[in-house]
Structures are given as structure tokens and as C-alpha cells.
Amino acid sequence: MPDEIVSFEPATGAELWRGEIGDVTAAVAIAREAAGGWARESQTRRIELVRRFANQVRKQAEPFAELIARETGKPLWEARTEVEAVIGKVEISIQAYGERTGSKKLDSALQGQAGLRHKPHGVMAVLGPYNFPAHLPNGHIVPALIAGNTVVFKPSERTPAVGAFLVECFHAARIPAGVVQCLIGGPAEGRALVEHPGVDGVLFTGSARAGIAINRRLAENPGKIVALEMGGNNPLVVLETPKIADAAVLAVQSAFTTAGQRCTAARRLIVLDSMFDRLIPAVKALAERMIVDEPFADPAPYMGPVIDNETADLLMESFVELISRGGTAILPMRRPREDRPFLTPGLIDSTGIADRPDIELFGPLLQIVRVPDLDAAIAEANATRYGLSASLIGGGPDDYERFWNEIRAGIINWNRPTNGASSAAPFGGVGLSGNHRPAAFYAADYCAYPVASTSMDQPRATIGLGLTEDEAPAEVWMKGSPKE
Ligand code: UN1
């Protein structure tokens, strides 16, 4: 077993970072040790500290963005938006904590007081993805800290440098080292962390396969809270619209932003037969114009490489596989450099494929499915075990109303992309996309549990019924029982 994790820049293949694999048991022990003190800190103090964290990130915004761009391969302009999202998360999470899990008085018919307050779970394990190596784990870490939990964060083994940088920003804000830790490791450390009895909750963002494995491992631990943010096979339906150029832009933005490595990326462009000949050439022309290059290139690229060569190999194989099953290449996906994971956007008409595989192909590959009408479009859009995001383009308000009612997904948009979901809204889906613990604005919900209380200053109690009147022992215990 290697005792180090090494990360390489996808764009160049150069080694970027290496670090020793962490000790799961030691990290959990430290987090447990810190948990009591952190939970007892005043709410005001915890909020002050996470605000200070936001300032730290702001101070380091440019080196942070450069590191994200290097380690993921995403364009620098996009890495900068990720850093902004990390900063923005703090105020949103403070507001969400108050709205979703604050304390309140409850109406009480009885004397005394009734109230609702929330408590932290204790030690939270956060398992991060590589596509947003800072923003998505941060979306678990910040709400967890505000609620009073301590955190052991294991970044993806493909993006450990960004994970370590993020945690250094928390420490630079003087959040104690034991309150949030970065645990470097691969799948074995992830498993050990999930199963560790000292961990009270597991907050995961990644593939459905890994999420299901976590769920299985915790099947006999119903007491651990588990939040799974998984993938999608997201549909983008295009009905009649005169705005062809805009529809094409929405399609390529939805499918190819972050080289298609977004859980919310459109995977299936479901288009009316009557729109096909107008829309598809426009989508193709736009996709052909997209610059694919290293993150710091000038002119700036739309897409960088995918995360590694193995992933690029798999995507190229998937493209070929779809063609061999009856798909028609509209724009073949290409790999301009054999040794690096750059991929140009691919478009396949998959209408002719009999059993289209319902899988998440995590890269710049968009399948097109032709349908005769809205009924068929909705049926096709729902033909997936996932249910994260879905968009409708064109049509009228009644079409959107129907689409909204009949589509099974946690994000349903009209004339907007499938991706770019707001941090100020709940973020999650149905089916294989999650376990009904939406993140973003609702992350507060899984970071604390509700405690209902009734209270009085003094014990004061009487029993009004069912007692003898004169304090004599009762002679009849049960109706009909023989008297002695
Ligand atoms: C996306 O749109 O692709 O804060 C991800 C969050 C969400 C993530 C969105 N805004 O969790």
C-alpha cells in the first residue's frame, strides 16, 4: 500500500503535490476530543470564525484559484468562480442555520415553556469530489462547523492539494486545528472513516456507485446521519422556439461546462423532431467553436481536460460503444493528445439505440434523442433511475407547468441551463441522485438534530384521576379480579 498520495496536473502531467496518507483513527480521536469545546462555543463565536475564514479565502483568492485550475484542469476563469462560491457559502450558511435549524418557542397549552433547539451530531466525515474540490466539500464543512460539529475532511485522492489548502484557510482564521482536519487518503481511508464508530455523520459528494457503497456499509448503523449527493443522467428538453441560437448556447453550457464534469450537466438533449434540423446544426457549430486547452491558456479555453487519462480513455470507449450500438456521431469526440486527457465535445444521436444505457458519463459527451411531442419528451426525460436536474427550453407556460409537474428531479428549470444551481436553494435530487438530504441551503438540516423540550422553573405536578381519594392503598387493581 502506498503511504503517499501524489497529485498530477491533468493538463501537463506534471507532479503538483504529494502528501502522507493520514491516520484515520488518530484524526477521529482528535475530532472527538475537540467536539465538546466547539459545541459549547457560543453561536456568535462560531459565526465570527467562519466569517473570518471567508476573509482568509478572499485574501488568498488568486493563488487558490490557480491551485484549483492546476489540480482539476478547469480554466482559470472558472476556478475563480469556484473560489467566489466558497466565499459566498459562508453568509448563505449562516442565514440557513437560522432559518432551518435555529431555536424557537413552541405554543404550549400547558403551563411552563416549550421550545425547539438543535444540537450538533458530533464528528462529521466529509468526503469530497474532484470536480469542485473546494466548493462542494465546503458546502458541507461550513454548515457543519456553524452547527457545532467538528469535521474530518477527506478530499478526493485526485485533488488533495486543494483540500489541504481549503483546510489551511480554516486554520488561518483561527478555527482550532482539531475542529477541522484534512485527512489525506484514498478509497481505503474513505471506507475506514465512514465505518469508524467515532464518526457520527457522513457527508458525501460523488458517484452513485460510491454513495451506494457507503449506504451499504452503514446499513447496520441507522444512527449515523448520511447525506449523499450523487450524480445524474440529466435531460434537457427542447420544444418549439424561434430562439435557436440561445437554445444552442443553453445546450452547450449545460453539457460542456467543466468539460461535462458536473453532476448537473445535461447528458441527454431531447429534441422535438420539428426542431432537430434547426437546433442540432447550431449546437454542433457552437461545440466546434469551443476552445479546449490548458487552464491558463490565452485565449481562455471553454474547457480544460477531464480529470485524468483513465477517465478520458473510458469516455472515448463509451463514445465508440454508443456508436456501435446504433448511435450516429454528429460531432465525434476527439482526443487531440494521446498522452493527456483533453477531450473535444462529442455529440451523438442516440435515438436509434434500442436500450440506451442509463449511466452517468462524466465528461463532455451529449446524447441527442429525437421525440415526436411533449408526451414522448417527458417519458424519455423520466427514463432514468437518477433525478437531479432537468431543463425545458422553448414551449409556453403551460408546457413548463406540465414539465414541472411530471418530471422527477430536484432541480427543474425553464429556459435556463441544467447546471449552475444556486447555493441559496436546496440542492439535491431523487432516485440514484441522493438520499433525500439536499445540500446547499438545506445542508443545515443534516448538520444538526432537533431537540424538543418542555420546561418549568420548579417541579410541580398532580395526578387528577385514577387515585384513591383518602390516600389509602387501592383495593381494586383490576376490574373483575377476585378480592382477596
Ligand atoms: C452545479 O450547479 O453544477 O452549492 C453544482 C451547491 C450547488 C452546487 C451546484 N450550488 O451545493
pLDDT digits (tens, 9 = 90+) for 413-434: 999 999 999 999 999 999 999 9
Note if 447 is an active site residue: no
Mean per-residue pLDDT for 146-157?
98
How many CB atoms sit inside 10 A of residue 277's CB? 9
**Domain boundary assignment for the chain:** 4-230+434-453, 234-422
Asked whether 420 lines ligand 1 (CB < 6 A), one says yes
- 210 CB within 6 A, ligand 1: no
Domain 234-422, CATH homologous superfamily name and number: Aldehyde Dehydrogenase; Chain A, domain 2 (3.40.309.10)
Q: Which of 71, 78, 157, 263 is catalytic?
A: 263
Q: What is the mean pLDDT of the chain?
A: 96
Tell which residue, 328, 321, 325, has the closest CA to residue 349. 328
The whole-angstrom separation of Cα 255 and Cα 236 is: 9
Catalytic annotation present for 229: yes
Quick one: cell of 183? 485527512
Among 205, 263, 445, the mutation site with the greatest number of ligand 1 atoms within 8 A of its Cβ is 263
Question: What kind and span of H or E run contains 43?
Answer: helix 43-59
The CA distances from residue 366 to 214, 324, 350, 401, 415, in Å, are 29, 16, 9, 26, 18
Query: What pLDDT does 407 receive?
Result: 98
Q: Is the CB of 387 under 6 A from ligand 1?
A: no
What digits encode the pLDDT tens for the residues 74-107?
999 999 999 999 999 999 999 999 999 988 888 7
Alpha carbon of 232 to ligand 1 centroid (Å): 13
- What share of the chain in percent tops pLDDT 70? 97
Q: Would you state the CATH architecture of domain 4-230+434-453?
A: 3-Layer(aba) Sandwich (3.40)
| Strands in 53-167 per DSSP E | 104-106, 113-120, 123-127, 150-154
User: Which of 93, 142, 389, 423 has most ligand 1 atoms within 8 Å of CB, for mutation?
Assistant: 423
Cell (9 digits) for 129: 469530489
Q: Give exposure, 386-395, as e/b (b: 16+ Cβ within 10 Å).
A: bbbbbbbbbb
The torsion region of residue 349 among left (phi > 0), alpha (psi -120 to 50) and beta comes to beta
Q: Which atom of ligand 1 is nearest to the CA of 262?
A: 3
Dist. CA 245 → ligand 1 center (Å): 25
> Could you give the CA distance from residue 89 to residue 136 in angstroms, rounded to a whole number?
10
Ligand 1 centroid – CA 182 distance (Å): 22
pLDDT tens for 348-379 read: 999 999 999 999 999 999 999 999 999 999 99
**Distance set, CA 81 to CA 61, 84, 131, 157, 307 (Å):** 10, 5, 13, 22, 18
Per-position DSSP letters for 324-382, written without gaps between them = HTT-EEEE----SSTTS-----EEEE-TT-SS-------SSEEEEEEESSHHHHHHHHT
- Write the single-letter amino acid at 85: A
Closest CA to 396 of 260, 200, 286, 239: 239
Q: Please tell me if the CB atom of residue 134 comes closer than 6 angstroms to any atom of ligand 1.
A: no
Helices vs. strands in the chain: H and E counts, helices first: 14, 19
**122-139 average pLDDT score:** 98
CA of 425 to the centre of ligand 1 (A): 9
Residue 203 pLDDT exceeds 80: yes
Write the DSSP assignment of 393-461 as a string of letters.
Answer: ESS-HHHHHHHHHH---SEEEESS-SS---TTSEE--SGGGBSS--EETTHHHHHEEEEEEEE-SS---
Task: Output the residue whose Cα is nearest ligand 1's atom 2.
Answer: 420
Say which residue the cell 460542456 belongs to.
256
- Residue 110: pLDDT band with limits 50, 70, 90: low
Show the cell assigned to 240. Answer: 418549439
* Ligand 1 near 140 CB (within 6 A): no
In sequence order, the β-bridge partners of residue 294 are none
DSSP letter, residue 134: T
Indicate the pTM of the whole model. 0.95
Between the two ends of the chain, the Cα-to-Cα distance in Å is 77
Residue 480 banded pLDDT, cuts 50, 70, 90: low
Centre of ligand 1 to C-alpha 33, Å, is 32
Which residue, among 453, 470, 444, has the nearest Cα to 140 in the 3D structure?
Answer: 444
For 133-239, list the strands marked E by DSSP.
150-154, 180-182, 201-205, 225-229, 234-238
d(CA 73, CA 259): 9
- The alpha carbon dihedral of 192, 196, 198, 202 has a sign of positive
pLDDT digits (tens, 9 = 90+) for 171-196: 999 999 999 999 999 999 999 999 99
Q: Is the dihedral of CA 211, 215, 218, 223 positive or negative?
A: positive
Query: CB of 264 closer than 6 A to ligand 1?
Result: yes
Contact in structure between 144 and 200 (CB atoms under 8 Å): no
Of 78, 157, 229, 360, the active-site residue reads 229
CA 7 – CA 160 distance, rounded (Å): 7
